[in-house]
Amino acid sequence: MNKDILTGLLLDEDSSLTLSDLSHACCVQTEWIIELVDEGILMPDGNESSHWRFSGPSLHRAQTVLHLQQDLEINIAGAALALELMDEIEVLRTRLYVLERSD
Amino acid sequence: MEYKDYYKIIEPDKNATQDEIKRAYRKLARKYHPDVSKEKDAEAKFKELGEANDVLKDTEKRAAYDQLGSNWQAGQDFKPPPDWDAGFEFSGENYSGGDSAAFSDFFESLFGQQERGGFTGRQGGRTQYQNKGEDHHAKVLIDLDDAFQGTTRSITLRSPKIDAQGHVTTHERTLNIKIPRGVKQGQQIRLAGQGSPGIGGGAAGDLYLEIEFNPHSFYRVEGHDIYLELPLAPWEAALGASVKVPTPGGVIDLKIPADSVSGRKLRLKGRGIPAKSPGDFYAILRISLPSGNTEQAKNLYQKMQQELAFNPRASLGV
């Protein structure tokens, strides 16, 4: 049993990943990440791919697209739409949760 | 182990064509995909679906499974008869080569020996750096208070491991993880090297922990902002008042402006979840009525009715 306390890296909006970091983390070629940027799923800072900086949440987003592609055979445009709808559903779900609970 | 009725899992009956099976699977896969579905056992169900589909979509495996299956019901205690697959040839090329730990004991006992190794993890191979170990993903549940103060969480992970005989066993380990203050719902904490060990000396995979908040009984969290439905007495809303309001950071006194209506939002800047740019705290006003079932209350309400010329439906034209 490990008694040490581990501190990880919180992938929040302030943390930044390069194109290379992100593709390593997802175990994909950089071309695939570039496709996501082209589709507007990921929006890095910087003008050229060598200068791109992705925010922390980009990792989870990219991983979700990867899962959708592999498991459900959704193409990238479809995955982009799915992600946007899923974001919206999450917001609505939380609102509904509160409204249904008060009185 | 238990017998698994793959037809029941995917839903078409035993005489379904390959097309029907494919259609049924795809529909259910979309429904139960763990990234899409909010159902509690979505992940288990999705895995089960995948396994059923793997067997039924492959004509060789389906035929073998059918031959064996006619006498069994799902859940029954099962042992494959010794020559059950006699006469069937399983061509290695048909096997998708998924990670054997992803399949049930039942599947393993029938088809496991056909596996041609490889750690591709999810079904349907993907481009992967050959040596890096698999990444692990887990969810960690915290309370809103934990996000305000930070905390340490102990989590137990189960990972598959191949032992000396080549069997897959599950290996449990417990880790203590620091949760920093200011985390947001859905954010991930990455612990490098805590995933599966690498192959052939490659780097170990990473562990990703996704933060999920336990729903709070009265706060609602959206991103870094916190919302609270704040009940007010009618006189507090009409005349204005100073009321005590709970916030995760402590109780505060909030000034309610006179003539406030239900639904009005009062914003307390910076009192949401702490972060580099902290979120805000919103009190949403809701007027609560004292009950009218005592003599005294009835009198007071009737007095209001008579003395205040008030038509709340004036804007509806009635």
What single letter denotes the amino acid at residue B249?
A: G
User: Choosing among A98, A101, A102, which should be mutated to test the B contact, i.e. which has the most B CBs within 10 A?
Assistant: A98
Give CA–CA dist B72/B214, Å, rounded. 42
**Residue A43 to residues A10, A50, B54, B275: CA-CA distances in angstroms?**
19, 14, 37, 21
pLDDT along chain B (318 residues), means of 10: 72 78 86 82 83 83 75 58 52 37 60 42 40 74 86 76 68 83 86 77 80 86 88 94 92 93 91 86 93 92 92 90
**Number of CB atoms found within 10 A of residue A17's CB:** 22
| Residues whose CB is less than 8 angstroms from the CB of residue B70 and which lie 6 or more positions away in sequence, other chains included | none
pLDDT exceeds cutoff 50 at A1: no
Summarised one tens digit per residue, pLDDT across range A28-75 is 899 999 999 999 999 999 888 889 999 888 998 999 999 899 888 899
**Are B35 and A57 an interchain contact pair (Cβ–Cβ within 8 Å)?**
no
pTM: 0.62
What's the confidence (pLDDT) of residue B97?
A: 36
Q: What are phi and psi of B317, to 5 degrees?
A: 80, 20
Nearest-CA residue of chain B relative to A14?
B276
List the single residue in A3, A8, A67 with the smallest CB-CB distance to B189.
A8
| Spatial distance between the Cα atoms of B57 and B35, rounded to a whole number of angstroms | 24
- Closest-CA residue of B relative to A73 is B26
Find the CB nearest A94 among B127, B188, B220: B220
Residue B190 and residue A6: Cβ atoms within 8 Å?
no
- Please tell me whether the interface predicted TM-score (ipTM) of this complex is above 0.85: no
Q: In one letter, which amino acid is B172?
A: E
Residue B108's pLDDT is: 63
Q: Do the beta carbons of residue B214 and residue B197 sit within 8 Å?
A: no
Q: What is the CA radius of gyration of chain A?
A: 17
Cα-based distances in Å from B60 to A72, B24, B67, B68, B81? 23, 20, 11, 13, 18
Q: Residues 21-80, chain A: which have Cβ within 8 Å of B?
A: 24-25, 27-29, 32, 56-57, 59-60, 64, 66-68, 70-73
Distance CA A58, CA A43 (A): 8
Residues 6+ apart with CB under 8 A from B61: B54, B55, B90, B94, B111
**Rounded Cα distance, B254 and B153, in Å:** 34
Contact between B187 and A2 using a beta-carbon 8 Å cutoff:
no
Q: What is the pLDDT of residue B121?
A: 36
> What is the least distance, in Å, from the CA of B297 to any CA of chain A?
21
The residue type of B302 is Q
pLDDT recorded at residue B114 = 46
Q: What is the DSSP string of A12-29?
A: -TT-EE-HHHHHHHHTS-
B123 close contact with A: CB closer than 8 A:
yes
* Chain B environment of A14 (Cβ under 8 Å): 276
Residue B192: its pLDDT value, please?
83
Q: What is the pLDDT of residue A102?
A: 54
Integer angstrom CA distances of residue B212 from A11, B145, B178, B223 = 14, 13, 15, 12
Q: Which residues are bridge partners to B244 per DSSP?
A: B253
Distance CA A98, CA B5 (A): 40
